[in-house]
Structure 1
Amino acid sequence: MASPAPTQGSLPTVPPRPRRVAFAGTPADAVPALRALVEADREVPVVVTGEPRRRSRRGLPTPSPVAAVAAELGLSVSHDPTDLGDCDADCAVVVAYGRLISGELLAVTPMLNLHFSLLPRWRGAAPVESALLAGDDRTGVSLMALEVTLDTGPVYWRHEVPIGATDTAASLRRRLAHEGAQRLAASLTDGLGTPQPQAGEPTFAGKLTPADRRIDWTQPAVHIDRQIRVGGAWTTLGSQRFVIREATLAPSPPGSVPGTLVDDAVVTGDGLIRLRTVQPAGRAALDVASWRRGARLAQETRFDTAAQE
């Protein structure tokens, strides 16, 4: 019979100033935190990260960004999360690792999680993207004690970051990763203090699907602009799929049909999205002028809307 999952009260606590700190993370967003730990003279006995992956169909498997930097720093790299509990660390720091940590492992090693939102708002896998899509005017990074349930642990600190009108998910993640890493290192050096339970109504940020990224040109321009700034927003023209990489907002001429291409812009439900960079399926990204010259589009060309299909 399996043992019951540990409760937060039964989990080991992180010492105020841990010296020996294991690390778990995978993407580039986790790299600044790893570097900050090393620069703060923390001993990092092991770095646990995702398995090597192919970046293209014909390419060889390549290490994760965290694995590459760990090797550069001379740190031990593992793909087995149980190594976080077998390295005699004071605690482990988890940043965008990509896998849930088991209750059995949490019962052995106290863990901190650097999460890119102002908890309890946007618990889950895509907090930055969800904040952008929702039209939030601010987001942030939180340091919490990791517990069995998802992103519910008590919080040591929150650092707020404004969301600008041109911020993308990528630019926000870079800023949050950098500022969060510096605050993480400072708090481990100066003392963590006592974490406080999360207060307020939680919201949840599930992983975005292709449907979430699909553009419906009948929607308001501000909504479509947010989809594009999240990244991977797509539409279709006839049978061809397009990703809109960069665009800006512009006023709409009266009486135009949503989806209609007007010079270098597309009509939406209440305005224009002026295209800057597009990527037709199977091709490299192009500036809109180069794409239009090569495409030889007819007048009143229209992108498909969800309602048309």
Structure 2
Amino acid sequence: MTTLASPPVGPARRIVYLGTPEVAVAPLRALHASGVEIALVVTREDKRRGRGGTLSPSPVKTAALDLGLTVTHTLPDVAKVQPDLGVVVAYGRIIPVDILRIVPMINVHFSLLPRWRGAAPVERALLAGDTETGICIMRIEEGLDTGEVYERVVVPVRPEHTLSTLRSELVQASLAPLVRAVTEGCGQGAPQSGVATHAAKIDPAELQIRFTMTAREITALTRLETAWFTYTNDHGSTMRVRVVSVVEVAARGEPGKVIDVSRDGVVVACGDTAVRLVTVQPAGKSPMPAGAWANGARLPASLA
């Protein structure tokens, strides 16, 4: 096993910050507000977005420049500024061992490790129907999310949580312990214990609703806010619809059968009972009440 640099037991006076998406912005701002010196911010390269292909910076780059911080896209630059500590929040790349030998690093991980190690811990917690999740301030090691944990915070998962709302709560829950770890010291970490599970990145195919699924499975998918299904209309065209919200109802029928259409939504039989589609988003349109969509779409007898 390679000998890695150890995080300081006491306060870190000079840090580097590695992050890319929106979830990494609030932790960056919290650390900046704490007064710690952020010598460098490392983020992913600008991406081309939109029809015009305009280059756009990552949310972290935008925030860092707004705070007057130095930004780089080159990971090896972290060693050049000689930080006491590196802080990683959703950076999006594996940190090479050569860098970990020189710069000790901690990470904000959005699960209660060792459950849901990997790229999509919040998504996997929702799909699995977990009733609680949380955050861990942890040491980065060679293994994937295997490092010792300095602090953990439990966050209950409520039935109304979606991916965006749960992720937002987890980010807020991480701010105080992260600032403590940096400004007061990481202290003595604890090895992870329990059964490890892997949070693989979500494949787009996993987001397809099949009405042979159970109501719980369909409901869990819609909590990720990008679930969808296809159906063939009476003109023979295949239509794609994003399901924004559903509720479970007590009804039966062949999976996919349209049981009822009303102002309250569209009741569709599924693998065990039925679900009511409450809000949907047809391709190229804005979200709308499912009942209004169904009346205009002239639905077939089955969506299977």
Length-normalised TM-score, structure 2: 0.92
Instruction: Please report how far the alpha carbon of residue 166 of structure 1 lies from its aligned counterpart in structure 2 after TM superposition.
Output: 1.4
1:100 paired with 2:94, answer: yes
1:217-249 superposed Cα distances (whole Å, 9 cap, x missing partner): 111101110011023111111111221122222
Give the structure 2 partner of residue 283 of structure 1: 285
Q: How much has 1:98 moved relative to structure 2?
A: 0.6
> Counterparts of 1:113-192 in structure 2 under 5 Å?
113-192=107-186
> Match for residue 303 of structure 2?
303
Match of 1:41 among 35, 57, 74: 35
SS at match of 1:212: helix
In structure 2, what residue type is equivalent to 1:11? Answer: L
The letter for the 2-side match of 1:156 is Y
| Per-residue deviation, residues 176-195 of structure 1 (Å, max 9, x unmatched) | 11110222112323332111
Q: Report how many residues are paired.
A: 293
Instruction: Work out the CA distance in 1 between the residues paired with 2:63 and 2:250.
Output: 45
Give, in angstroms, the shift of residue 258 of structure 1. 1.3
Residue in 1 that maps onto 2:270: 268
Distance 1:227-1:85 versus aligned 2 partners, 3 A rule:
same
Alignment of 1:14-33 (within 5 A): 14-15=7-8, 16-33=10-27
The separation in 1 between residues aligned to 2:250 and 2:68, in whole angstroms, is: 54
Which has a greater percent of strand? 2
Give the one of 76, 82, 86 matched to 1:88.
82
The 2-side partners of 1:92 and 1:99 are apart by 14
Aligned mate of 1:65, from 51, 59, 69: 59
Once the two structures are superposed, residues 43-82 of structure 1 have per-residue CA deviations (whole angstroms, 9 ceiling, x without a partner) of 1111111111233233412111111111111111111111
* Contact kept? 1:138, 1:160, Cα under 8 Å: yes
CA–CA separation in structure 2 for the residues paired with 1:215 and 1:18: 47
TM-score by length of 1: 0.90
Contact 1:33 1:182 in 2 (8 A): no
Q: After superposition, where does 1:247-258 map in structure 2 within 5 Å?
A: 247-252=246-251, 254=252, 256-258=253-255
Displacement over 3 Å in runs of 4+:
none
- Of the three residues 9, 13, 24, the one matched with 2:6 is 13
Greater mean deviation of Cα atoms: 81-90 or 96-105: 81-90
Q: How big is each residue's C-alpha offset from its partner over 1:125-168, in whole Å with a ceiling of 9 and x where there is no partner?
A: 00011111111111000011101111011110111101111111
Q: Which ranges of structure 1 fall in alignment gaps of 5 or more residues?
A: 1-5, 305-309
Q: Which amino acid aligns with 1:272?
A: A
| Contact 1:51 1:63 (C-alpha < 8 Å) held by counterparts | yes
Question: Are the counterparts in 2 of residues 94 and 112 from structure 1 also a CA contact under 8 Å?
Answer: yes
